[in-house]
Structure 1
Amino acid sequence: MGDQSKHLPEEFKLERFLARYEFTAPYTLCCSDSQPLSQSEVLALADDECRRKWDQLSLAYTEPEGLPELREEVAKLYNGVSAKDVLIMGPQEALSIAMLAMLRPGDHVVVTFPGYQSLYQIAHTIGAEVSFWHMRADEEGRLVFQMSELRKLVRPTTRAVVVNFPHNPSGALLSLADWETLVEQCRAAGAYLFSDEMYRMLERDPGARLPAAAECYERGVSLCGMSKALGMPGIRIGWLATRDASLHPLIQRLHDYSTICNSAPSEVLALIGLRARDWLISANLDLIEANLGAARAFFARHSDTFEWYEPAAGSVAFPRLRTGEPVDEFCERLVQKSGVLLLPATVYEHAPSVAEGRFRIGLGRLNFKECLKHLEDFLQKEKESA
């Protein structure tokens, strides 16, 4: 009968790797989200209106575009974006649907790389030609995306440029000048700018926060959600924001063939979280800053084993193993012997040479220092047995 999966996306390597270990490893050091909240913690943040909504919640179908009050709250995150420009759905679903709405077989797409596999795999499955905008290390060792390389990649016929800033897994962030150049490159080509902004609002310097794509470009599409900055990944609520009115009916048509509408409890919990966003984001940034201090000290103590690269923003970093051992073998041995889980760069297909030997760590969890302690114990035992 032949290969029954040829028409499907390739295996999602990162998710399959995490599925093996994430829920069994006792010390998960690679989580990309902020410290998850409990339901009771979220409900304690509810204002009177949200508490009434929760207490009187009907487990009926919900509005396909999303809870109106939630769309209004999301729109407040952006300048010049209204509730009608916002569609609520799960982040992964939103990403896939947006790609299907924007792209056609044969289209050319430029994508930041390495990155979350959906950002390029869906385009490839549709039949688009994908060019990677590779992360590089600059003269000072910082991980960056160079505009000179982008200019070479974007063509007059490019259909979309797909970016992710703050970047996962490196924490790289464009300057405002480079962001404006990126927007102008898209405008000159008439290309969509699809911007994965899941880590937006986790800039330690608020002045470094970039404008959202939906704010600054008429063909900009912003993807964001509740998981990274707000610590609510389990409610599976995200959104697309775009002022391109021609995309909305296409996205909604595809949404009708997927989940149709969202979970009623999840939408109310998201509304509560967004209304408390200033407090939640401040608390998560404080935790990231404290964990960064611990990370700097740890990697300084173990500079013979690792190279540390300071992330510019976000909740992840991308150090390098410098022993010469394949990083996937090191990570496998580490989790098997100590229960500490790191994410090796080998889960990112076609990773450039600058990613060789790297692994992702997450900076947003309360048990970060405990996980580092177990990693340090592992390293000490390895040295003693050598």
Structure 2
Amino acid sequence: DVMPFWFGEPDAVTPAFIREAAKAALDAGDTFYHHNLGIAPLREALSAYLGRAHPPVESERIVVTSSGVNALMLAAQAILSPGDRVVAVVPLWPNLVEIPRILGAEVARVPLTLSPERRWRLDLDRLIDAIGTDARAVIVNSPNNPTGWTMPDDDMRALLAHCRRHGIWIVSDEAYERLVFDGSRQAPSMLDPASPDDRLIVANTFSKAWQMTGWRLGWLVVPPSLGADLGKLVEFNTSCAPGFVQQAAVVALRDGESVVRSFVDELGRRRDALLARLAAIEGVEAGIPDGAMYAFLRIAGAKDSLALAKSLVNHARIGLAPGVAFGPEGEGFLRWCFARPIPELLEAAARLERFLQRR
């Protein structure tokens, strides 16, 4: 009877029209290899989708990948070498800092801070100082997992200008781009101020907005100069994404906008309900997430987030992710995924309150 809020995924099954498209593709015999960079209909559909919200992105700049994390690994393989220095805005989903390390790069960390108003903030000057003139790349995840911090457009432009001057790559993980709660269609994107030839790689995924976590499909937007190399890297890693999954993604992009918007609206209601309930619990402080699907909260006096998370499983029967999993900056925090029905969120918050009262 443990209530699970540790996973970063929607609670609902992938919408039926997407599942039906995959079934139809399988029934039509789509069980063979495809082009390394993705099937043409999907790359064209992604180009059209991106063009509705950002400057035009030619389909030749789009690389279809076997998941968002595969996209991030491919990006790192394309631009990093052993000994390179990478700068990351943290706390951060651990894969994003471990991928460069696996490839032999060093990762410097620039932490977000929680303001008295419970908003997550980035010291842009500190980030630019850390990047300097010799970093190979900077990694930004906005909206951010685990905090929900969203990078303002002005900060993106300033970061891009600095990196342009010094030939530094930007890897922008925009997996949660559509999951924002200010009424806009999406969060600011590095695609907006950038030119096609900038040293910018944007990674995205079908997992979150279209509720397709188990389908393992993502994409990259890259400069034209990287396309050939990315094709080779896809070949060496996975060869291609499954055709029937790609066919389903075409339908998701074509017919799924209302589903995405409804999902985001519901996420916003769930966020608000959880934050209001947590605010009523003595000793709990939760940052206000601008996007994504997580509340990153701390409990007064808690120093060991892993021990606390284990204790909550054993004694309160609620599962939260320990903040230290997202780096040392997350120690003392817990990540709570609020992509669950409101009654479950409120019941779990009540369990947390009773647990803290017994401590």
With the length of structure 2 as denominator, give the TM-score of the two structures.
0.90
Mapping of residues 1-386 of structure 1, within 5 Å: 26-38=2-14, 40-43=16-19, 53=25, 55-76=27-48, 77-78=50-51, 79-90=55-66, 91-205=68-182, 206=184, 209-213=187-191, 216-217=194-195, 218-242=198-222, 244-302=223-281, 304-324=282-302, 326-349=304-327, 351-352=328-329, 355-365=330-340, 367-377=341-351, 379-380=353-354, 383=357
Q: 1:275 to 1:185 in 2, by over 3 A?
A: same
> Is 2:61–2:221's contact at 8 Å kept on the other side of the alignment?
yes
- 1:250-289: CA deviation from partner (whole Å, max 9, x where unpaired): 2221211111011122112222222233212211111111
Correspondence for 1:7: none
Give 1:63 shift.
2.1
Structure 2 counterpart of 1:160, one-letter code: A
> Is 1:61–1:261's contact at 8 Å kept on the other side of the alignment?
yes
Structure 1 counterpart of 2:4, one-letter code: T
Structure 1 counterpart of 2:30, one-letter code: S
Give 1:111 shift.
0.9
Once residues 167 and 158 of structure 1 are traced to their aligned partners in structure 2, the CA distance between those partners, rounded to angstroms, is 22
Structure 1 counterpart of 2:209, one-letter code: A
Runs of at least 5 residues in structure 1 that lack an aligned partner in the other structure? 1-24
Structure 1 counterpart of 2:275, one-letter code: R
Q: 1:101 to 1:111 in 2, by over 3 A?
A: same
Q: How many residues align?
A: 351
Q: 1:98 to 1:288 in 2, by over 3 A?
A: same
Correspondence for 1:16: none
Instruction: Indicate the SS of the match to 1:273.
Output: helix
Instruction: Indicate the SS of the match to 1:320.
Output: strand
Aligned-pair Cα RMSD in Å: 2.3
Give 1:141 shift.
3.4
Once residues 215 and 276 of structure 2 are traced to their aligned partners in structure 1, the CA distance between those partners, rounded to angstroms, is 35
Give 1:69 shift.
0.9
Once residues 277 and 114 of structure 1 are traced to their aligned partners in structure 2, the CA distance between those partners, rounded to angstroms, is 31
Structure 1 residue runs of 4 or more that deviate by more than 6 Å after TM superposition: none
Q: 1:271 to 1:36 in 2, by over 3 A?
A: farther
> Is 2:278–2:349's contact at 8 Å kept on the other side of the alignment?
no
Once residues 23 and 312 of structure 2 are traced to their aligned partners in structure 1, the CA distance between those partners, rounded to angstroms, is 45
Give 1:381 shift.
5.8
> Is 1:35–1:284's contact at 8 Å kept on the other side of the alignment?
no
Once residues 106 and 359 of structure 1 are traced to their aligned partners in structure 2, the CA distance between those partners, rounded to angstroms, is 33
Instruction: Indicate the SS of the match to 1:216.
Output: coil
Q: 1:255 to 1:230 in 2, by over 3 A?
A: same
Once residues 280 and 192 of structure 2 are traced to their aligned partners in structure 1, the CA distance between those partners, rounded to angstroms, is 43
Structure 1 counterpart of 2:217, one-letter code: I
Give 1:307 shift.
0.5
Structure 2 counterpart of 1:81, one-letter code: V
Instruction: Indicate the SS of the match to 1:336.
Output: helix
Instruction: Indicate the SS of the match to 1:62.
Output: coil
Instruction: Indicate the SS of the match to 1:256.
Output: helix
Instruction: Indicate the SS of the match to 2:108.
Output: strand
> Is 1:99–1:122's contact at 8 Å kept on the other side of the alignment?
yes
Give 1:42 shift.
2.5
Once residues 212 and 288 of structure 2 are traced to their aligned partners in structure 1, the CA distance between those partners, rounded to angstroms, is 25
Runs of at least 5 residues in structure 2 that lack an aligned partner in the other structure? none
